[in-house]
Amino acid sequence: MDDAAVILDGVSRRAGGVQILHDVTLGFAAGRFNVILGPNGAGKSTLIRIAAGHIARLEHGTVSYWDAPLDTFEADALARRRAVLSQQIEMAFPLAVEDVVMMGRYPHYRGVPSARDREIVREALALVEMTERRHQLYPTLSGGERQKTQLARVLAQVWQEEGTLEQTVLFLDEPTASLDLHFQLQLLATARTFLRRGATIVASLHDLNLAFDFGDRFFVMEGGRLVHQADAPEDMPKELIERVWRVKADPIAAGGRTRWYFRV
């Protein structure tokens, strides 16, 4: 775990009388695309909320970023280096797309945004191909466009030049849920380009084949426990997949790589 950007050590979580996480210890590899896998209710979202600092009071365990405990970071300082894309964000009031993306720059300025902040918002919008819709009101967008807008917002939050030395962390909580195929691939590919900008990515995904296409490290959760870690898709045994997801899995060769075909 010496190259880990974020380390969880002995993290447990109980809520509403249910043990959601049992003694989870892991390190998300710095500069890599880390993927959290697991069936519904395995504790993936809770794990991300704890790692991202939303659930701060833990009964057991610690979270640290770059070897410093999470609670030693000032709120603004942490927000400049850690962003989170949640599942489907609804907004009660109409706001233009570019104003939503500008929120990602809020931790970076006081009062009025700088010319650089505006430039970053423009670049983030271009990256997710939403430039032409920048004046449109958020509630009038389709589900996919909303998710792209939110992605642009979190990218703007941890925006760095390519080849930067400063490290950031980008959490994506089931970012592809309810997106069509094109949006799913585009979103993950766009996020991946941020590895070159100093980002460590931590994403929870349901689709194993999609995860194997984009991920570098794999963490398998089951019933609140970390049951397996893998550095490559080849290190994910058939027996594990079939047990954890309760499916029959057959390997198929596609594009020179091994992928899985699932049946119940």
- Which residue ranges make up the site for other proteins (CB under 8 A)? 49, 52-54, 75-76, 78-80, 82-84, 86, 89-96, 99, 103-104, 106-107, 137, 139-140, 157
Tell me the closest approach of the beta carbon of residue 176 to other proteins, in angstroms: 18
The residue (of 89 and 232) whose beta carbon lies closer to other proteins is 89
Tell me the closest approach of the beta carbon of residue 210 to other proteins, in angstroms: 24
Tell me the closest approach of the beta carbon of residue 82 to other proteins, in angstroms: 7
The residue (of 58 and 103) whose beta carbon lies closer to other proteins is 103
Tell me the closest approach of the beta carbon of residue 76 to other proteins, in angstroms: 4
27: region left, alpha or beta (phi > 0 left; psi from -120 to 50 alpha): beta
The residue (of 21 and 102) whose beta carbon lies closer to other proteins is 102
Tell me the closest approach of the beta carbon of residue 137 to other proteins, in angstroms: 6
The residue (of 46 and 210) whose beta carbon lies closer to other proteins is 46
Neighbours of 251 (CB within 10 A): 11
Sheet holding 82-85, edge to edge: 82-85, 168-173, 199-204, 33-37, 217-222, 225-230
Tell me the closest approach of the beta carbon of residue 15 to other proteins, in angstroms: 12
The residue (of 70 and 230) whose beta carbon lies closer to other proteins is 70
The residue (of 107 and 224) whose beta carbon lies closer to other proteins is 107
Tell me the closest approach of the beta carbon of residue 140 to other proteins, in angstroms: 5
The residue (of 194 and 260) whose beta carbon lies closer to other proteins is 194
Three-state helix/strand/coil letters over the chain = CCCEEEEEEEEEEEECCEEEEEEEEEEEECCCEEEEECCCCCCHHHHHHHHHCCCCCCCEEEEEECCEEHHHCCHHHHHHHEEEECCCCCCCCCCEHHHHHHHHHHHHCCCCCCHHHHHHHHHHHHHCCCHHHCCCEHHHCCHHHHHHHHHHHHHHHCCCCCCCCCCEEEEEECCCCCCCHHHHHHHHHHHHHHHHHCEEEEEECCCHHHHHHHCCEEEEEECCEEEEEECCHHHCCHHHHHHHHCCEEEEEEECCEEEEEEEC
Per the CB < 8 A criterion, the answer to whether 63 and 53 are in contact is yes
